[in-house]
């Protein structure tokens, strides 16, 4: 269910971009490639946290879990800010490496600011995904994705659709933010305050 919701959002962005025109869907494809680039770095930290969190759970050590989470949060923030800086300083050059079609390049450059914001907004959901996989709390991840998809992404797009592609990207940014907030809220409310990892 979690994966289907995520893919539904990606497919929706593609189809809505296509409805807005060829240049829009092409520019969005470029920006989505940048999103994949972001995920490589952030997923690396999340995957490392996943393994260490799983070990902490096996040892029933809440102290280890808290330490792992704190260190992973720090490095996630550092990597995310690095991505923000890369897209801010070299984003237009990176776009020109992918496409040489002037209207597509121009349109993608007009929407680069969403990719500059995206790493620092979305990095938390990447990390907490890894933490919750390590904890084997699949139900929590599923619920977070359902809330983000149907309680945020689609309602936000509906309200912002008058802003065309900017509305689409704003909805996606809110979707990622909601995933991070819901998982972080659950973590600090139901895990951080516990004295044990025993279920």
- pTM score of the predicted model: 0.91
Q: Which among 145, 143, 172 is positioned nearest to 157, based on CA atoms? A: 172
Q: Are 109 and 91 in contact (CB under 8 A)?
A: yes
Per-block mean pLDDT, blocks of 10 residues, the chain (199 long): 90 90 91 89 91 91 91 95 95 92 93 94 93 92 95 95 93 96 92 66
d(CA 113, CA 108): 10
Q: Which residues of 80-115 are buried (b: 16+ CB within 10 A; e: fewer)?
A: beebbebbeeebeebbeebbeeeebbebbeebbebb
Q: What is the pLDDT of residue 46?
A: 93
Q: What is the pLDDT of residue 198?
A: 57
């Amino acid at each position: 269910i979690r994966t289907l919701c995520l893919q539904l959002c990606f497919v929706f962005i593609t189809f809505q971009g296509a409805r807005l025109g060829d240049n829009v869907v092409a520019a969005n494809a470029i920006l989505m490639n940048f999103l994949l680039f972001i995920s490589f770095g952030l997923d690396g930290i999340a995957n490392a946290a996943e393994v260490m969190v799983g070990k902490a759970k096996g040892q029933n050590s809440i102290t280890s879990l808290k330490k792992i989470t704190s260190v992973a949060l720090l490095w996630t923030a550092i990597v995310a800010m690095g991505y923000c800086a890369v897209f801010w300083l070299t984003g237009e050059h990176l776009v020109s490496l992918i496409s040489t079609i002037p209207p597509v390049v121009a349109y993608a450059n007009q929407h680069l600011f969403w990719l500059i914001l995206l790493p620092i907004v979305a990095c938390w959901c990447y990390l907490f995904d890894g933490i919750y996989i390590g904890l084997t709390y699949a139900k929590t991840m599923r619920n977070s994705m359902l809330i983000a998809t149907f309680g945020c992404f689609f309602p936000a797009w509906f309200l912002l659709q008058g802003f065309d592609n900017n509305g689409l990207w704003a909805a996606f940014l809110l979707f990622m933010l909601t995933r991070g907030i819901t998982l972080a809220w659950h973590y600090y409310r139901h895990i951080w305050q516990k004295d044990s990892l025993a279920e």
